Amino acid sequence: MRSALTELSASNSFSFRLRMEIWVGVSGYTVYGEERGEGSLEGDDLTLEILRISPEGEDRFTISRREGDYFLLRDGLERPADGSEVPGPLFRPREFLALFSRFRDVREEGEEEREGEICRVFRLDYDPSLALEALPPQAKEYFTNLDYELSGRLWLGERSPYPVAISLELTGLDPAERLQRLRMVFTFQPLAAERP
């Protein structure tokens, strides 16, 4: 498990899919949002096509990073991305993998089918203090006062040297009422060539 994660982290280039689901508890009801994306990493350059689904509707755009700068492409027009448009750490593969690798405990849970193959499944536990590092900067100001739980799962198959999928789940509870105010599930799927 560790070697597959290390090999992916050390890779200079790969393609991937990602999905983030977010539930926010507001005044007795829950608001759901989702972002799905496909992207590629080439050295330090990143291209990521995103579909954002929220109560306001759908939004499609592309974020790219070239020579250290981020750009936003929407409706055929590209411009430099402003601060709030720069993707958070989970959407930047190297930062996500570095954060995911900082688990304090791991245990194997058994087997499960994923992406058409039988995978070994590992459960990872984290220090709750890492949860704030997973949040995008604009979300931290709203959610810093919550008590967090952070866990991960990794699916390992036989076809690829990389994990089949990696998932990080964050839950934020109101410290007084112990009600869930935030839940975030982020799933990252590297797309790798099969083993020779």
Average pLDDT over residues 20-31: 85
pLDDT at 31 over 80: yes
Please give the model's pTM, rounded to 2 decimal places.
Answer: 0.91
The mean pLDDT of the chain is 91
Which pLDDT belongs to residue 192?
65
State what percent of residues in the chain have pLDDT above 70.
97
Which among 39, 33, 4, 35 is positioned nearest to 166, based on CA atoms?
4
CB contact at 8 A, 122 and 103: no
Which pLDDT belongs to residue 178?
85
Write out pLDDT tens, residues 132-143. 999 877 777 788
Convert the chain into a string of H (helix), E (strand) and C (coil).
CHHHHHHHHHCCEEEEEEEEEEEEEECCEEEEEEEEEEEEEECCEEEEEEEEEECCEEEEEEEEEECCEEEEEECCEEEECCHHHCCCHHHCHHHHHHHHCCCCEEEEEEEEEECCEEEEEEEEECCHHHHHHHCCHHHHHHHCCCEEEEEEEEEECCCCCCCCEEEEEEEEECCCCCCEEEEEEEEEEEECCCCC
Which pLDDT belongs to residue 28?
74
Q: What residues contact residue 166 under an 8 Å CB cut-off, 6+ apart? A: 5, 97, 100, 152, 153, 154, 155, 187, 188, 189, 190
Which pLDDT belongs to residue 137?
74
